[in-house]
Amino acid sequence: MDSKLRESEERYRALLESSPDPIILMDSSSRIVFVNRAVEELTGLKRERLKGKKLSVLEKRGLISESALKSILDLFNSEHEVFEIEFTDHRGDRHFLEIHSTRIETTSEKNLLQIIGHDITGRVEAERRREELIRERSKAELYGFVVSAVPVFASSIPPQLRNAIIKNFADRFEKNLKPNFQRTMKKLGVLDDIMARRESLRVFDAYIKWLSGFLRNLGIETELRGEKPRYILEFKTFPWINEARQNPIFSLIFRAMLMRSFTWTGIKGSVIQTSSLRSRDENLTFEFHLV
């Protein structure tokens, strides 16, 4: 029976060895028991140098981040969820790995954790290019909308029509940007919280991270201050500052963006604009009130 088990293990290790994906086996102390050829190629280290070392050797060599190391080690005490990490190989090239894990036992070792890193670099880079195209399209649409809307706010068109124009912009904004928002929330691990309407502070932090990144792509730097239930978001820079001092369309557009995107979080609360750009002494600011 033991000989059959050993033969089975040898066949299994042969399969691991031939896999194009990097595979690591660790014991309960996070010491490396086995690595395949793909790990050697990524790290530039022979398996003899890795065997017996703790997984933290990869972080110490700058191949993975501290947070990536923690996520992997947490698998010893949690469900084996699939997640992504960034891995910098020994040549300095960046890879994105989708981490899969499972527990296994051998005739000589028990409670081993098997880590498989599926290389998804191509997919991640394609997604980033797509997101960049979406951002550029949104930026172009924003510029075009501002230009086309200036005559509206310079005339005597009724407020109801102005509101309809702003709503139309908010609808287009949601159509273009909400999918990107949801992908980001999934990567940050809060999409389930949004769907279940829980962990409002965690969701809010993720939302602000996404919002700040989106605004930064438009040339706007922001600063968040305050604490629950009241936060203030200030626009520290604004590319169209001279035009915005003369026309309210800019403030209205960004108010529409923030109010609409905040609804995507499912957080109970509100967003209000607390200052405009009409005064030379003020930046555009918004207040978030969380219930």
Q: Model confidence over 99-114: pLDDT tens digits?
A: 999 888 766 667 889 9
Beta bridge partners of residue 271, listed in sequence order: 288
CATH architecture assigned to 2-119: 2-Layer Sandwich (3.30)
247: Cβ contacts below 8 Å, ≥ 6 apart: 150, 153, 154
Least confident of 96-105, 266-275, 276-285: 276-285
> If we measure between CA atoms, which residue out of 214, 213, 190 comes closest to residue 201?
190
CATH top-level class of 123-290: alpha beta
* pLDDT tens digit sequence for 157-192: 677 777 787 888 888 889 888 998 999 999 899 999
Indicate where the chain has its CATH 3.30.450.20 domain(s): 2-119
Question: Considering the entire predicted model, what is its pTM?
Answer: 0.55
Confidence of residue 32 (pLDDT cuts 50, 70, 90): very high
Q: What is the pLDDT of residue 82?
A: 87
Strands 94-104 and 83-88: antiparallel
pLDDT of residue 2: 56
Helix crossing, 159-187 with 249-263: angle to 10°? 50
Q: For the segment 199-258, what is each residue's pLDDT rounded down to a tens digit?
A: 899 999 999 999 998 888 888 899 999 988 999 999 998 887 777 777 777 788 889 999
Tell which wins on pLDDT, 79 or 268.
268
Domain with CATH 3.30.1380.20 in the chain: 123-290
- Contacts of 190 by beta carbon, 8 Å cutoff, 6+ apart: 199, 202, 203, 206
Helices and strands (DSSP H and E) totals, the chain: 11, 9
Distance CA(149)–CA(1), nearest Å, equals: 80
Q: Is the pLDDT of residue 266 over 50?
A: yes
Given this model, what pLDDT does residue 1 score? 46
DSSP SS3 for 60: helix
Tokens 């050797």 correspond to: 57
